[in-house]
Structure 1
Amino acid sequence: MTWWYRWLCRMAGLLGGVSCAFAGLWNCVTINPLNIAAGVWMMLNAFVLFLCEAPFCCQFIEFANAAAARADRLRPWQKAAFFKKQRERRSAPRLPCRMAAVPVMLSLTLTTLFGNAIAFATGVLYGLSALGKKGDAISYARIQQQKQMDEEKLAGALEGQAL
């Protein structure tokens, strides 16, 4: 992961935390219990994003530096998996933002949608970085040719056994 992409993910996490915090606070100013639950969840998301992506925002919390150091040691696919569990370790993450999707499922309003959009984008950015670089056309053609040759060998071996 390049330095600018790492900073892009960090800035998205910081902005996602800010938007979740403000939208969560706004959601809590209501009578509807589902809106309050979604608002509390959004503020919890904001705290987790601040803790992992911007530990300087949590400098008065004792365990913030330890949690941030542990989050820095994680690989991008592990950060994406933090937002949603993966079936396989090397598979591409699908919807890497379960944490940002829960408040939207609790209370589908514009506040929850816009408040969680940047937090969702943070998970998507980490998921994309887990996919890695795009390969060149020559190596892709070699892999396809090798697969085709393997399939032809297998088909020939199966035809020989059928006779």
Structure 2
Amino acid sequence: MNEVEPEGTTQGSADTQQDDGMTWWYRWLCRLAGILGGLSCAIAGLWSCVTINPLNIAAGVLMMLNAFILFLCEAPFCCQFVEFANKVSDKADKLKTWQKAAFYCGMALLPIFISFTFTTLFGNAIAFASGVLYGLSALGKK
């Protein structure tokens, strides 16, 4: 009893891809925003650590940790020497979009609550925007 699949479809692609209603270009926009958010967090975090204020240093270290997590989740090829990078990326891809949105937005707000400066505010803005993009995709078409 072999069923014939329609031409152009494969069984594996339906199983591996999570049907979250996102188009391919919006998925890539969210990934690009996550990568740029990680880059801005890393640069602003390093800049924030160049001070004598301990709260700024703590916020800067947390921003660099946020950048590492964003790179692990959105661009594991940037962390090719980290053994668990692909596992983390696979688990992050299995998360629902609202879970990613809550995680990214919360992760971006924490350094701002620790030290409210222009560096932490603008450094986390793109990472927060990435979470907002994932949150908008969780709302779906209305």
Q: Name the TM-score class by shorter chain.
A: 0.7 to 0.9
1:109 aligns with 2:117: yes
Aligned residue pairs: how many? 121
1:41 aligns with 2:41: no
Give, in whole Å, the separation in 1 of the partners of 2:115 and 2:96.
Answer: 32
Q: Which is bigger in relative contact order (C-alpha 8 A, separation at least 6)?
A: 2
Q: Deviation string for 1:110-160 (max 9, x for gaps)?
A: 1111100000000100111000111xxxxxxxxxxxxxxxxxxxxxxxxxx
In the alignment, structure 1 segments of 5+ residues that lack a partner are: 84-96, 135-163
TM (norm. structure 1) is 0.72
C-alpha RMSD of matched pairs (Å): 0.9
Q: In the alignment, what sits opposite 2:102?
A: 81
1:32 aligns with 2:40: no
- Residue 61 of structure 1: SS of its match in structure 2? coil
Deviation, 1:17, is 0.1
Give, in whole Å, the separation in 1 of the partners of 2:39 and 2:110.
Answer: 17
Q: Which of 6, 14, 17 does residue 35 from structure 2 map onto?
A: 14
1:99 aligns with 2:103: no
Q: In the alignment, what sits opposite 1:150?
A: none
1:126 aligns with 2:127: no
Question: Which has more radius of gyration?
Answer: 1
Give, in whole Å, the separation in 2 of the partners of 1:19 and 1:69.
Answer: 24
TM (norm. structure 2) is 0.83
Letter in 2 for 1:8: L
Q: Which of 41, 49, 54 does residue 75 from structure 2 map onto?
A: 54
